[in-house]
Chain A
Amino acid sequence: MMQFFTANQALFDFFLLSLGFAYSQQIVLRAGVFSIATVGFVAIGAYLAGYLVTKSEFGGLPAILAATLVAGLGGLLLSVPLSRLRGVFQAIATLAFVEIVLNALYYLEPYTGGAMGMNRIPKLVESWHLLIAVAIVIYVVWSIGRSGIGRAWDAIRQDETVAACLGVSIRKYHTLAFVLSGAIGGLFGAMQGLYFYTITPEQFGFAMVVSVLTTIVLGGRATLAGPIAGALILAVLPEIARPLAENRLFLHGAILLAVIIFVPDGVGDLLVHKLRQRRNGTGRNMIGGETS
């Protein structure tokens, strides 16, 4: 067991990081906000933590907390103009936000190292740190699913007009989703920054936007299990497909297509729904919003 773990540790850590990014993405989608700003928050978190640790006296934990806070604040600021937009317009505006962050990383060379990126960042984050962070986020998302916040988000996502007519303040809950998505993105961005020794702007480009979205599409956007299933598939798939070498991307695309066509809700959501149906058929069930 231990041997298996050490052999696959890098894979496991990659899985935990993408799980964090996926929750940051899922939270906004769950609240009915079509934001793809997660990668922007991740970049802010990674660079801020890297900067604080290398250029000032910050330790690992304070740097991570500061990055979480600042990225959450970034989410708050972003929500002001973006809460007026809906659907695809929101997606395009948040994509623009990611581009702005990316360009800032290139242009603020004295602070960010420009295209060369930031190097020689001490590795302060270990697997068990990632595990703790993931556990905290899962607990929060689980709690939300059992609270009025989850109920409000589920209502807004399914029918905004109905939610408003039942007294749900759309603005308040959209803002909350932006802030949480920013904070979680910043948290895991900071952990990534303090994990890989080096960060460069191109890591946080369009490819990562697509990869984070893919996690949710594969796994599901409404349940706690969604991001876990999605991140697991994305972490394990390249390993399984290793013998296929140059056909890997083809396999990747084929699986994505198959999931969209046959499991449009995502693999994780589908499993949860099946389980819930079985449980409801037999006896008492837990009520906890969409997440379980």
Chain B
Amino acid sequence: MTSLDLKNVGKSFGGLQAIRDVSFTMASGEITGLIGPNGAGKSTLVNLITGLLKLSSGTITLDGQDIGTAPPEAVVRLGVARTFQNIRLLTDGTVLENVMIGYHRRETASILSGLLALPSSRAETAQLQDAAMEMLGRFEIGHLAHATAGALSYGHQRRVEMARAFATDPQILLLDEPVAGMNEAESESLGHLFRKLADSGVGILLIEHDVKFVSKLCHQVHVLDSGRIIASGTPDYVLKHPDVVAAYLGTDEFEGVA
């Protein structure tokens, strides 16, 4: 059982306080939702957790181990993987190559064996190729293994990115708007996939706009607005919370104008 704990996390860019005093905990085997309007700081928070941005204040710990100051490659080695809001694949590579690089932290062949194509390096490449094919199967995109990643449809690219993140064998997976721009059927099938992943023991942080989608999948939802958590709890609870309604639909003054 792994848990990711954020305590009083803050981030400022110059004078702009993008994240202030955010605290929450998420555990493996659960899907935790993080929702909030545009510009609330959701992606900034993901960048802080994965080490792409440096914390201004607070702590982030994984099972008690401080990862707040660790660089991205160290964070993923400890078991925290992510996808990007604006899908970032290696567009020139094939789908298989994209997923194979996800297994990088499993690689043990020495540099020398790689330079000389020694058996250990070749065996590793073959083994990772098989593992990647199996992973593609789990995400139902095995038939696309040899297609160029950049040429795929949006929905397939999302799946490739998730398969790649999942290849790092994470305990915690941060999905930044995974169903953005997808139709209902597509997001439904991804929802089933997330459920399966969570049941296999992975902790998923689902960052979304789509309130309906989140409330179907998550027991625990945090709502971020202007860099602060304004409500936490079950989907039913937070969606009725007056601050959340105000953040999403506007305040009374706005209604007064309408």
Task: List residues of A whose CB falls within 8 A of some B CB.
Answer: 139-140, 142-144, 146-152, 154-155, 158-159, 161-170, 176, 180, 222, 280, 285, 287-290
Contact A155 B101 (CB under 8 A): yes
Q: Given A152-B101, A165-B52, A166-B102 in contact, is the A147-B77 Cβ separation under 8 Å?
A: no
B68 to chain A, nearest CB (A): 16
Given A147-B113, A167-B105, answer yes or no on A158-B121 (Cβ-Cβ < 8 Å). Answer: no
- Chain B residues packing against A (C-beta within 8 Å): 50, 52, 71-73, 76-77, 81-82, 84, 88-94, 96-97, 100-102, 104-105, 107, 109, 111, 113-117, 121-122, 124-125, 129, 146, 164, 168
Please give me the residue from chain B that is nearest to A162 by CB atom.
B88
With contacts A164-B71, A166-B104 taken as known, whether A147 is within 8 angstroms of B93 at the C-beta atoms is no
* Ranked 3 nearest A-B pairs via Cβ: A147-B114, A143-B117, A167-B105
Q: When the two chains form their complex, are residues A165 and B82 in contact, meaning their CB atoms are under 8 A apart?
A: yes
B125–A166 touching, CB < 8 Å: no
Query: Least Cβ distance of B228 to chain A in Å?
Result: 26
Q: How far is the CA of A167 from the CA of B102 in the complex (A)?
A: 8
User: Given A148-B121, A154-B101, A155-B90, list of 12 further CB < 8 A pairs?
Assistant: A139-B117, A140-B115, A147-B124, A149-B111, A155-B104, A159-B88, A159-B90, A162-B88, A162-B89, A167-B77, A169-B73, A290-B93
Docked Cα-Cα span, A162 to B81, in Å, equals: 11
* B125 neighbours in A (Cβ, 8 Å): 146-148, 287-288
**In the complex, are the beta carbons of A164 and B73 less than 8 A apart?**
yes
The reply to whether B115 and A167 form a contact with Cβ atoms under 8 Å apart is: no
Chain A nearest Cβ from B148, distance in angstroms: 9
- Note all chain A residues with C-beta closer than 8 A to B71: 164
A166 touches B76 (CB 8 A): yes
Q: Are A166 and B101 in contact (CB under 8 A)?
A: yes
- Nearest CB in chain A: distance from B4 CB, A: 16
- Verify A149–B115 contact, CB threshold 8 A: yes
Pairwise interchain contact B117-A166, C-beta atoms closer than 8 A: no
A152-B114 Cα distance, complex, nearest whole Å: 11
Partner of A151, one of B84, B101, B122: B101
**Complexed CA–CA distance, A148 and B92 (Å):** 17
Report the minimum CB–CB distance from B169 to chain A (whole Å): 10
Q: For B90, list chain A residues within 8 Å (CB).
A: 154-155, 158-159, 162
Complex partner residue of B121 from A146, A152, A165, A290, CB under 8 angstroms: A146
